[in-house]
Amino acid sequence: MEYIIRIKKKKRNILNDKWVWKMAWRDARKNFSRLFLFISSIIIGIAALVAINSFNDNLQSDINSQAKELLGADFVVNTNKGFDSTVIAMFDTIQVPQATDARMASMVLFLSDAGGTRLVQIIAVDGDFPFYGEVETVPEDAFSKVKDGFYTVLDENIATQYEVSSGDSIRVGTLAFPVAGIVKAIPGTGSLSSTFAPSVYIPMKYLRETGLVQYGSRVNYKRYFKTETTAQADEIIKQIRPTLRKYGYGYDDVAERKEELGQSFENLYRFFNLLGFVALILGCIGVASSVHIYVQEKKESVAVLRCMGASGWQSFNIFFVQAVIIGLIGSMLGAFLGVVVQYFAPLLLSDLIPLDITLAISWSAILEGVLLGLVISILFSFLPLTNVRTIPPLTVLRTGFEKIKRFSKVRLSIILLTLIFPLTFAIYQTESAFNGSTFFLTLIAAFLLLTAVAKGLIYLVKRFFPHSWGFVWRQSLANLFRPNNQTTVLVVVIGLGAFLVSTLSLVQNSLLNQVEFVGSGTRSNTVLFDIQPHQKDGIVALTNDNNLEVQQLVPIVTMRIQSIKGKTVREIQQDTTDNVSNWAITREYRVTYRDSLIDSETLLKGEIMPEVINPDDSIFVSISESMLDNLEVDIGDEVIFDVQGVQIKTYIGSYRDIDWQRIQTNFIFVFPNGVLEQAPQFFVLMTKTDDKQQASKYQRELVAAYPNVSVIDLSLILSTLDDFMSKIAFVIQFMALFSIGTGLVVLAGAVINSKYLRLKENVLLRTIGALKNQIVKMTLIEYGYLGLFAGLTGIILSLAAGWGLSVFFFNIIFFPDLITLGIIWGGVAALTMIVGWVNTRGIISRSPLEVLRKEV
């Protein structure tokens, strides 16, 4: 007989197939703890992202809203050579409120009970600066007293340190100013900047009388302008720009200040964005690995459903619905946690940022976080879940029967999407196609290498299996390659986690080392500058009297460029065809003369001319390589300098690489001996003090006898720097904790999930007489192997990634901290073993029958 072959299927999509939703709930209610693993990696990943992005959003909006307060005016003109009288005349014609200040580093002597000397920033003020924002002082009128009378005010931190209060006096140069009060806050400076360069404010009209401004003194002058509108500021700038350019003066307006501030936080942004990216990728790995292992266990159940008549997509949808709902809940919890964490950010960062950080909820960051969490849940659960569709119903009859189609159009599309997502996100988060692609490719390379290592490990263990080893060692080693092994998944997940965490640690370490320098050994730790020629011998004698060695006494001559290759500065400025930097041809150069290189310099090309013997000889100077492009010069080119009205014709004789990070007196131009000896000059002296008492006595005597000479005490800077670094380190570590936390959750999730696959065979071993001790040992050894191999591979890969990130992304020197890497390696292996052991305890503490009967 013939039956008509016709299938009348009602096609139901996921939304109207109630059975799918019912089954999803039924399955989930018995698997809450498992699904929590899935959710936890999303929660932490999204929390990190929301916290970081909210903070970035708030910081950006604070910069926008507070930029005027930070500048204190609508625009400001600055120079380090004093305003020319014609320029001042031009300023006077501009009918808007103006104010002036002059800033320079100098020693001050505290005439308080505590006494002492300190290098500070002297700020001489004149006019109503700041035009925006308030200067907070105690008492309230202290700052206005400085503007009107013969008073000083100083930053709170040095006032506290040197026990200075109203009524005491401070000697600045040759004048002793009564203290009018303490500055608690001033627009544009954070407490950190006052830690580094604490300020003492004096009236401008007394600056000259202090005697601090001498030949070679580095003074920065600023002229502040307050306009009615931004358009008015732009108009004035447009008018005065040619004159400013002619004299080489710089200017700053609110827009530029915003940009500068944005740039100064760029590394912080970049690091935080990197953290966000890492946290998210770890979340992705967590989702994919949790779902992968979950699906492995669900094979039999799915096969039963397939026998009963469930379609491939219906089976798939049961778990997909779970992933989406759990992902959404996890994302929302993550976003909530992120907002909570964000509220701690100002507590952490208030010292580092010269802004009042707003505590606003960034809805865009929250929405972005929730959407990203949802997308990750969908995308990264989709691929492992596609296997559900092709689980053959025959599995119910033949355990282990697998006929999973590895490549289908759906799988291929999902693979493509899962690749495109991290790439797109990386580009979005780093705001750079190159950087984002590099991040992404590094991750893919790490993924492929880890897979290769896992496969290689399985092959090698099989190939060279140690048959003579004892049962426990053989059994645990064999677990690495036996059917249903999780070696590849665990090596990839653990390895990728270790890779990301140690890369982060390497970058963090390099960032922290960036500002660290060495003031140890026989290197100088005290630098005296602004020494006038007539003071030189006296200061050398005073140094020797204090039993200190004069390690370097460097002459410095200030000069400007008159012409390059026959073209005057004016001609170069007018010539639009060249690319010579205006600042480079108008700036004042501090130049020294000597016959050889010092240890922070490396000769790259040409020869160092030691001395000019005959006055008619050509003078060959050495230039820093970094200035070649700015001045468009090369070996043999003529450069004429103006040294206090005297023109000196020179030729570029060589160029050098200079390590500017070294605490040395480094110079762009170095003249040979025999040229500048008679020019107006001042000296820098370097010495090394052995202890605080000696340094303190030496500095007191210096300031008393030579008030214009300033002392840089490197030990003081180092201790300040240490304080600064510990604050920064805390912030970085706090934020990195999120990414590391996600990594740990993913690791624990991978190990805990793999337990379910090992459960039955461990119970069987127990049933046939394996001792608890043997099961524990086997578990520890198996997970130990996995942790060690995966951790080591991840860490080796992270060295390459850390180097690349440090050098090319952050533009800093790469400082691998091998001890920390060792700790991470040990930590990963130990954690893998501990999690494995904790899981096994659940099996060995119960009777085999109990476990066999308990559904898993």
Q: Which residues bind another protein (CB under 8 A)?
A: 1-5, 7, 9-10, 12, 18-19, 22, 26-27, 29-31, 300-301, 303-314, 390, 392-394, 396-398, 853-856
Q: Both tokens of residue 601?
A: 């310099």
Long-range pairs of 339-346 with CB within 8 A, sequence gap ≥ 24? 339/50, 339/51, 339/54, 339/366, 341/47, 341/51, 341/738, 342/50, 342/51, 342/54, 342/55, 342/58, 345/51, 345/55
For the bound state, the minimum distance from the C-beta of residue 451 to another protein, rounded and expressed in Å, comes to 21
For the bound state, the minimum distance from the C-beta of residue 304 to another protein, rounded and expressed in Å, comes to 5
**Cβ burial 64-85 (10 Å sphere, 16+ → b, else e):** eebbbbbbbbbbbbbbbbebee
Q: Which of 296, 316, 304 is nearest to 483 (CA)?
A: 296
For the bound state, the minimum distance from the C-beta of residue 368 to another protein, rounded and expressed in Å, comes to 35
Q: Read off the DSSP letter of residue 686.
A: E
**Of 392 and 519, CB closest to another protein:** 392
For the bound state, the minimum distance from the C-beta of residue 380 to another protein, rounded and expressed in Å, comes to 23
For the bound state, the minimum distance from the C-beta of residue 406 to another protein, rounded and expressed in Å, comes to 16
Q: Both tokens of residue 83?
A: 């305003």
**Of 1 and 613, CB closest to another protein:** 1
Using DSSP's 3-state secondary structure scheme, residue 478 falls into helix
Q: Read off the DSSP letter of residue 565.
A: T
Q: Both tokens of residue 456?
A: 């290689």
**Of 6 and 467, CB closest to another protein:** 6
For the bound state, the minimum distance from the C-beta of residue 19 to another protein, rounded and expressed in Å, comes to 5
For the bound state, the minimum distance from the C-beta of residue 386 to another protein, rounded and expressed in Å, comes to 14
For the bound state, the minimum distance from the C-beta of residue 303 to another protein, rounded and expressed in Å, comes to 8
CA distances from 682 to 235, 527, 533, 703 (A): 41, 14, 6, 17
Spatial distance between the Cα atoms of 816 and 820, rounded to a whole number of angstroms? 9
Residue found under tokens 């690349």 = 804
What number of residues does the chain have?
856
**Of 291 and 511, CB closest to another protein:** 291
For the bound state, the minimum distance from the C-beta of residue 455 to another protein, rounded and expressed in Å, comes to 17
For the bound state, the minimum distance from the C-beta of residue 465 to another protein, rounded and expressed in Å, comes to 20
CA distances from 286 to 11, 80, 835 (A): 33, 56, 16
Spatial distance between the Cα atoms of 813 and 811, rounded to a whole number of angstroms? 7
Using DSSP's 3-state secondary structure scheme, residue 125 falls into strand
**Of 254 and 323, CB closest to another protein:** 323
Taking phi first (over 0 means left), then psi (-120 to 50 degrees means alpha), and beta for anything else, what does residue 492 get? Answer: alpha
Listing DSSP states for 425-458 in one string gives HHHHHHT-HHHHHHHHHHHHHHHHHHHHHHHHHH
**Of 705 and 849, CB closest to another protein:** 849
Counting beta carbons within 10 angstroms of the beta carbon of residue 562, is it exposed (0 to 12), middle (13 to 18) or buried (19 or more)?
Answer: middle
**Of 301 and 514, CB closest to another protein:** 301
Peptide bond into 139 cis (omega under 30): yes
Residue 303 CA neighbour count, 13 Å, CB half? 19
Residue found under tokens 């004429």 = 640
For the bound state, the minimum distance from the C-beta of residue 2 to another protein, rounded and expressed in Å, comes to 7
**Of 205 and 398, CB closest to another protein:** 398
**Of 239 and 408, CB closest to another protein:** 408
**Of 44 and 396, CB closest to another protein:** 396
**Of 309 and 566, CB closest to another protein:** 309
For the bound state, the minimum distance from the C-beta of residue 725 to another protein, rounded and expressed in Å, comes to 53
For the bound state, the minimum distance from the C-beta of residue 756 to another protein, rounded and expressed in Å, comes to 12
**Of 463 and 853, CB closest to another protein:** 853
Count CB-CB contacts under 10 A for residue 229.
9
**Of 346 and 392, CB closest to another protein:** 392
Listing DSSP states for 141-188 in one string gives THHHHHHHSS-EEEEHHHHHHTT--TT-EEEETTEEEEEEEEEEE-TT
